[in-house]
Each structure stands twice: as structure tokens, then as C-alpha cells.
Amino acid sequence: MFFLAIGVAALLFVFGLLVAPGSMSNFVPLNLVDTWTYLVLRSCWSVCHSCPVRSGPPR
């Protein structure tokens, strides 16, 4: 499920770069701020996913 969220954010970022905001093919209401927000979200999710998770009591 986590990889699906990363994939959707990456897809929306690429879609926002390729489709002009005022064109008829922009069926997802994205603007420049939305496009970069999806890039930041995708990057943060990827970094958080790669961080190791400690299990058990602290030493």
C-alpha cells in the first residue's frame, strides 16, 4: 500500500509537468504548486520508508 502512495505521487508529479494547467487534457486540477508538492511528498515518503525501524525496548 505504501508503494502505491509513492507511485501515485510520482505519477501526479510527472502529469503536472507534462500537461499545461489551462489545457483541456488537465482533467486533474493541478497547478505549479500542486506539482511540486507531489514531488516533496514523494521524496519524504521515500526517505521515511528507507529509515530503519527499531523494534523492542531501547538498550
Residue type, 2: F
Tell me if 35 sits within 8 A of 16, measured CB to CB: yes
Give a yes or no: residue 37 inside a domain.
yes
Give a yes or no: residue 10 inside a domain.
yes
Q: In sequence order, which ranges of the chain are alpha helices (DSSP H)?
A: 2-18, 32-50
Q: Mind listing the pLDDT tens digit for each residue in 7-19?
A: 888 888 888 888 8
56: confidence class by pLDDT, cuts 50, 70, 90: low
Query: Count of domains in the chain?
Result: 1
pLDDT of residue 52: 76
Q: What is the pTM of this model?
A: 0.59
Question: Residue 13's domain spans which residues?
Answer: 2-19+29-46
Structure-block grid coordinates of residue 53: 525501524
39: confidence class by pLDDT, cuts 50, 70, 90: confident
Give a yes or no: residue 35 inside a domain.
yes
